[in-house]
Amino acid sequence: MSLPTALADAPEEWQRLDPRMLLVHPIRELVRFLPALLFLLVAGTASSDGPPWQLLGVIVPVVLGILRYFTTRFRIAAGRVELRRGLLNRRITSTQLDRVRTVDLTSSLAQRALGLTTLRIGTGLASADDGDGLDLDGLPVERARALRADLLDVAPVGDVTEDGVPAAYVEDTLVEFDPRWLRFAPFTGTGLVVVAAVVGGAGQLFQTFDLDDRVRSDDLSVPPGIAIVAGVVALLVTLTALSVLGYLAANGGFRLSRQGGSWHVRRGLLTTRETSIDEERLAGVAIGEPLALRLAGGRHLQAIVTGINRAETGSSMLVPPSDAHVAPQVARRLLGHAGPVDVQLRSHGPAAARRRWTRALLPAAAVLVVGVVLVATGAPWWVLVPGVVVLALAAAIAADRVAGLGHALVDGHLVARSGSILRRRDVLGVDHVIGWNLRDTWFQRRVGLVTLAATTAGGGGAVGFLDVPEADAVRLADEALPGLVSQFRT
C-alpha cells in the first residue's frame, strides 16, 4: 500500500494530543465522579462542623484528567496507526492503514469551543470494550480532517482542481438537512422510546401523588372528562416537542456528500459528528421502512460497511428519517444503479404467505375465543371488542408482511425485503458475499421453505432471505456466486 504524502512524511516518534485537552479531560472526570462527589459533600457536611475536607475529593478527578493527557500518545509509522494509553496498566492499540473502514470526527460542546475534535478510526477489529477503540481524543479540527483524508486516501497524491484546491477536500453534496423532516421525529425509534418513557413516568407520578383521585374529585373546578382530555393533549404536545428537539439535536446540520473516494456524513447540533466511509468498503445499503415511519410517509437509509457492525448506527447512518423519496434517491447514487432500489421483487410463494397469516392470526384468534367464552358465561357483549380489534390488526399486519416479502438479484446486487413493523430492504453487492447459510425448521421443511443467509463482513454479518422456496434459494445463491452452492447438492 502506497502511503499518502502526509502519512509518509509523518514523524515516527510518539506524539501527544493537543494540550488544550488539559482543559477538557478534568471536566470530563469531574462529571464522571459527580455522584460520588455529591455523596461526599452531603455526608461530610452532615457529620462534621470543621473544614470541608471532603472538597479535596475534587482533586482526584482533576489529577486523573491531567494524567490521561500525559499518558496518551499516538504515532503513524510503518503503515500502522498506534495509540498508547495508561500509566500503571498500559495499553497499546494498533491497526494497519489498509484496515481502516470509517473515520469519525466527533466534537462535544467543550471541544467545539476550543476548536478540537475526536478522531475515531473504525476498523471492525476492535472488541466490544470501549477501551480497545482507536480514538485520537483531542486533535485540532483542521489537522483531524487532513488526517482523515489521508487515512482514507480519498484522492490521488497531487490531484488538484482548476483552482489549485486538493481534490480530496472538494465535496459533492448529495442531500442536506430539511426542516420539514422534523415532522418524522415522533415516528422514529428514539421518538417512540421517549413517548414510552414519559408515559411510564407520568403513570408513576399519578400513582405516587394520587393525581387520579384528585382528577375524579368533585372539588375540581372543571369536569373530570375535560381535565383528562386536557392532560392527554398536554402530554402529546410535550412528547412531540421532546421528540422534535431530540431529532434536531442528533440530525441538525445533516449533510451527505462525496469527497474524493469516500462518502462523508455530518450531523448534530450540540455534539457534531462527521463520518467518512471508504467507497471501496461500502458493501451495500439498507432502506429502513418501519411501520410507523412508513405510515407518516418517511424512510431512512443505513450503509452496510465491511468490518462495521449494524449496531454502530452512528457510523452507518447515511440518511436520517426523511421524506420517502430521499432514501431511495441517495441509495441509487451510492450503488451506481437504480435497479436494486426499483426492481419488482420476486414473491416467495403461497407457502410463505400462509406462514405469515398463520403466525399472525392464531394468537389473535385465541384472544377472541377467550372473549367468546366469557360472553357465553354471562359477560357483557363488549368483552368481544378487544378480540375483534386484535384480530383485525393481526390480519392487517399479516397482509402487510406478505406484501413486503420478496427478493431479487439485479445489477450485481442481492436484494432482500421482509417485515412489517420493522421492514427493511437490504441491498448487498455480490462481491461482498463470503458464503451462504441455508437453514430450515421442521415447519419450514414440511412446506419446502428455507431461510437463506448471504454472509458478509459488514452490517449484521448476513443478509437474510426469509421463507424462500428451496429451489429458488439454491438458484439465487448459484446465480450470485456460480458453482459455490450447487457443487454440494445432488
Residue 470 sits at the vertex; the CA angle it makes with 467 and 472, to the nearest 5 degrees, is 90
The model's pTM: 0.78
Looking at the fold, whether 160 and 264 belong to one and the same domain comes out as yes
What pLDDT digit, counting tens, does each position of 78-104 carry?
788 888 888 778 888 888 887 777 788
Residue 256, domain member (yes or no): yes
Containing structural domain, residue 165:
93-177+252-336
Residue 347 clears pLDDT 80, i.e. is over it:
yes
Please tell me which of 67-71, 91-95, 290-294 the model is most confident about, judged by mean pLDDT. Answer: 290-294
Looking at the fold, whether 285 and 154 belong to one and the same domain comes out as yes
* Cα 356 to Cα 92, 327, 346, 399, 453, distances in angstroms: 51, 27, 17, 8, 19
**Contact assessment for residue 157 and residue 260, using Cβ atoms and an 8 Å cutoff:** no
What pLDDT digit, counting tens, does each position of 410-436 carry?
999 999 999 999 999 999 999 999 889
Looking at the fold, whether 100 and 161 belong to one and the same domain comes out as yes
Give residue 52's pLDDT band: very low, low, confident or very high (50, 70, 90): low
**Distance of alpha carbon 140 from alpha carbon 241, whole angstroms:** 35
Q: Map residue 374 onto helix, strand or coil.
A: helix
Boundary of a domain, candidates 199, 217, 242: 242
Looking at the fold, whether 165 and 190 belong to one and the same domain comes out as no
Looking at the fold, whether 148 and 268 belong to one and the same domain comes out as yes
Residue 408, domain member (yes or no): no
Boundary of a domain, candidates 199, 222, 242: 242
What pLDDT digit, counting tens, does each position of 369-395 carry?
998 998 888 888 898 999 999 999 999
Residue 369, domain member (yes or no): yes
Given strand 134-140, what is the order of strands in its sheet?
A: 134-140, 116-122, 102-107, 272-278, 262-267, 255-259, 171-176
Mean pLDDT (whole number) for 446-461:
87
Q: What is the domain count for the chain?
A: 3
What pLDDT digit, counting tens, does each position of 131-168 carry?
446 888 888 988 888 888 778 764 444 555 555 555 55
Looking at the fold, whether 117 and 137 belong to one and the same domain comes out as yes
**Contact assessment for residue 79 and residue 1, using Cβ atoms and an 8 Å cutoff:** yes
Residue 40, domain member (yes or no): no
Question: Kind and range of the H or E element at 425?
Answer: strand 422-429
